[in-house]
Structure formats: C-alpha cells, structure tokens
Amino acid sequence: MYSEKVMDHFQNPRNMGEIEDPSGVGTVGNAKCGDIMRMFLKIDENGVIREAKFKTFGCGAAVATSSMATELVKGKTVQEALQVTNRAVMEALDGLPPEKVHCSLLAEEAIHAALWDYAERNGIAIPACNEPGQCS
C-alpha cells in the first residue's frame, strides 16, 4: 500500500520530538478526523529555519508526511519554506495512496501554521502564509 520511502519515514521518523524554545509552533487537524500534526520551528535572525521537529497522532502516512515536511523545510528561509507544498511532500515520498493525500495537505498546513505563529510572535507579516484552518 505504501511506498518504501513512506515506510522508511514511518519506521524511522526524522526530527520527531519537541523544540524547547521554538520560534514558532503550529498544530493542525483534529482528533475527530484521526490526524493531528504539531510542528516546531527554530528560525534564526536571518529568517532561516535552523531546526524543525514534529509530533503527530495519525496513520502511517500522517507520520511519514510530517517527517518529510520537517526534512524539506530545514535550512530553508521562511519564504522558501512556504513553497514546500503538499505535492512536494508527496513527491519526496514517492507518492501516497489516494485516500492518504489529505495527510500531505495537513503537512503543508502544519508548516504554514508554525510560520504563522512565528510571524505573530514577532509582529511581522509573511505574505502568502495562510492562517491555520481546521481539519482538511
């Protein structure tokens, strides 16, 4: 059902955990739908993401997309991180079964939610960063 990459990221999730003193934290999804993703970002004074971590409640695809999303945003600027779309996450995982595509959307939303929080904390506006929504 899942690609080897999805299975690898599920079994050996990268960047799982919390950041003690994060620059931004975003939580998306809800328990009713069966997926919750929380992303923690550490962003330096130049607006570069130095560290990204996650915690996820959800299926294999939810864990794998969270893991891949943190990998993809690490080292990127805030603006570059906003370009990490659900499609990019899916492609990096060699695809997802159709019924699991919403997990990749959740990963994209988690990135946006963490960046939104970062912007709020710092009183700045990030163009094209959407306010986190509800279960997708």
- Cite the active site residues: 33, 103
Closer to another protein by CB, 113 or 126: give it: 113
* Sign of the CA dihedral with 13 first, then 15, 19, and 23 last: negative
CB of 107 to another protein, least distance (A): 14
CB of 135 to another protein, least distance (A): 9
Enclosing H/E stretch for 2: none
Residues that bind another protein (CB under 8 A): 7, 10-11, 13, 16, 18, 27, 31-38, 55-63, 99-100
Closer to another protein by CB, 31 or 124: give it: 31
CB of 66 to another protein, least distance (A): 9
φ, ψ at 70 (rounded to 5°): -65, -40
Distance CA 126, CA 115 (A): 8
SS3 101: helix
Q: Which of 88, 68, 70, 56 is nearest to 5 (CA)?
A: 68
